[in-house]
Amino acid sequence: MTKGIILSGGWGTRLRPLTCTIPKSLIPIVNKPVIERQILSLKSAGVREIVLAVSVMSDVVKNYFGDGKRLGVKIHYTNEKYPMGTAGAIRLAEDYLKDDNFFMLNGDIIMNFDFSDMLKSHNKYKGVGTIASKILEDPSRYGVLIVNNETNQLCKFLEKEEYMPPEGKIVPMPINAGVYILEPAIFSYIKPNKKVSIERNVFPRVAEENKLYHYPISGIWKDIGKPLDLLQANILLMEEILQNLKGEVKNLIDESVEIDPSTKICSPCTIGENVVIRKDCSIGPNVIIGDNVFIDENTEIKNSLIYNESYFSKNVKISNAIISDNCMIEKNVEILGDTENLVILSSFVKVLKNIKLISKNHQPISYCHHEEVKENIE
């Protein structure tokens, strides 16, 4: 039976300071960890046994998922003592994966395509590997795939620094979407106990042997490598979930939420469990609020992510921000990012009353966990 492995051991450096206290793999996407959504996608394709390749804050990941029973799958773990690369990580899991083909996912992407159809395509072409590909208008941040559209064969795999657009112009190209199906034969391409990149060291060799194929995907695909990507990914997935619901559902609001009748909810919004929102507030559009959050009177929040257990006092204004768990925002505070440069508060940050944090001159603002914000930035 087809299994799966999710690479979930990265440091999440580009997402700091958020990932100083939360493993990148547990970063919430519409109030559910990114790799939990991936596990459920694999489960929908019939996968019942999954390996999580963990490293950074591995105990936190293991405590959250346990043996996988809660999600209806069996979860194994491999733990890298030192960085092994994307291929080295799956080589560590060979004993779990060697009996059949398996999905391999990068643990920092969201997508909504049909995994079972990708598996049918892989079985049809009988290659060593199949790579999900996504055409992007600007592929410069990703590895580019040179493909034969008639046979779906992947002819060449170019890392981002190797791709030279014709005449220097950016043109739409298929990129590596970070989802693969691999046969056990892939292990013969990976040296044991070495740091090996599957993208740089393995896939080019498989492509040269004409044993690598691609599977074009449509719909949502987004990595969460940077804070702005993370905000956009949440909004995209929230919109997708709402579109797929029957009826005219405009927001995702848990039944336990307590919202004063005078408060306006501007769709689309997601509001988690046990949230309290007092009178004369304005929430949305494009707001995702986690669980056990308290929002006092006359507070405005838009285009932002709010994690669990945070407190917002009266007369607070927030836009273009990511506020992590257990933060405290005192009264008359303004936290205003712009569309490209967000304001980011890591866990347990306290912002004192009357403070203004306003991103100007294209400069993001961020605070590490347990900081107390006493001075204005504007």
pLDDT tens sequence across 106-136: 888 898 888 999 999 999 998 999 999 998 8
Name the helix (H) or strand (E) containing 300. strand 300-306
Cα–Cα distance between 9 and 25 in angstroms, integer?
8
Q: Which distant-in-sequence residues (6+ apart) come within 8 Å of 45 by Cβ?
A: 2, 103, 114, 115, 116, 118, 119
Most confident segment among 70-79, 130-139, 224-233, 279-288: 279-288
Which pLDDT value is given to residue 364?
A: 85
Instruction: Kindly report, residue by residue over 170-216, the tens digit of the pLDDT.
Output: 778 888 899 999 999 999 999 888 888 888 889 989 989 999 999 99
Is residue 221 scored above 80 in pLDDT?
yes
54 touches 61 (CB < 8 A): yes
Among 169-178, 231-240, 305-314, 321-330, which is the least confidently predicted range?
A: 169-178
| Residue the block writes with tokens 């899991």 | 93
Q: pLDDT tens digit string along 155-171?
A: 887 776 676 666 667 77
How do residues 229-249 score in pLDDT, each as one tens digit?
A: 999 999 999 999 998 887 778
Query: For 273, how many CA atoms within 13 A lie in the half-sphere containing its CB?
Result: 2
| pLDDT score of 79 | 78
- The 10 Å Cβ neighbour count of residue 169 is 6
User: Which one from 160, 195, 226, 331 is the annotated catalytic residue?
Assistant: 160
Total number of residues shown for the chain = 378
What pLDDT sits at residue 237? 93
Q: How many CB atoms lie within 10 A of CB 343?
A: 25
Q: What is the DSSP letter of 195?
A: -
Q: For residues 229 and 226, what is the distance between their CA atoms, to the nearest angstrom?
A: 5
| Residue 259 predicted with pLDDT over 70 | yes
Give strand pairing partners of 301.
283, 318
d(Cα 343, Cα 303) in Å, to the nearest integer?
11
Average pLDDT over residues 253-274: 96
Binning pLDDT at 50, 70 and 90, where does residue 362 land?
low
Query: How far apart are alpha carbons 82 and 88 in whole angstroms?
Result: 10
Please say if the pLDDT value at position 361 is more than 80: no
Average pLDDT value for the chain:
90
Per-residue model confidence as pLDDT tens digits over 25-46? 899 999 999 999 999 999 999 9
Residue 1 has pLDDT above 80, yes or no: no
Q: Which amino acid does the sequence have at 262?
A: S
Strand partners, 12: none
Helix (H, G, I), strand (E, B) or coil at 324: coil
CB 130 within 8 A of CB 118: yes
Express each pLDDT in 6-24 by its tens digit.
Answer: 998 776 778 888 888 888 8
DSSP secondary structure of 22-76: S-GGG-BSSSSBHHHHHHHHHHHTT--EEEEEE-TTHHHHHHHHTTSGGGTSEEE
State the Cα torsion 175-181-185-189 to the nearest 10°. Answer: 30
Q: How far apart are CA 3 and CA 239, in angstroms?
A: 30
pLDDT score at 357? 95
- Rg of the chain (C-alpha set): 22
Q: Check if 246 is active-site.
A: no
Q: Can you tell me the distance from the alpha carbon of 338 to that of 341, in angstroms, rounded to the nearest whole number?
A: 5
Specify burial of residue 248 (Cβ count, 10 A radius: 0-12, 13-18, 19+): exposed
Strands (E), 2-84: 3-7, 49-54, 74-79
- Contacts with 163 (C-beta within 8 Å, 6 or more apart), sequence order: 139, 140, 143, 144, 173
Q: What pLDDT is stored for residue 167 in this prediction?
A: 66
Cα first-last separation, the chain: 57
- Cα diameter, the chain: 65
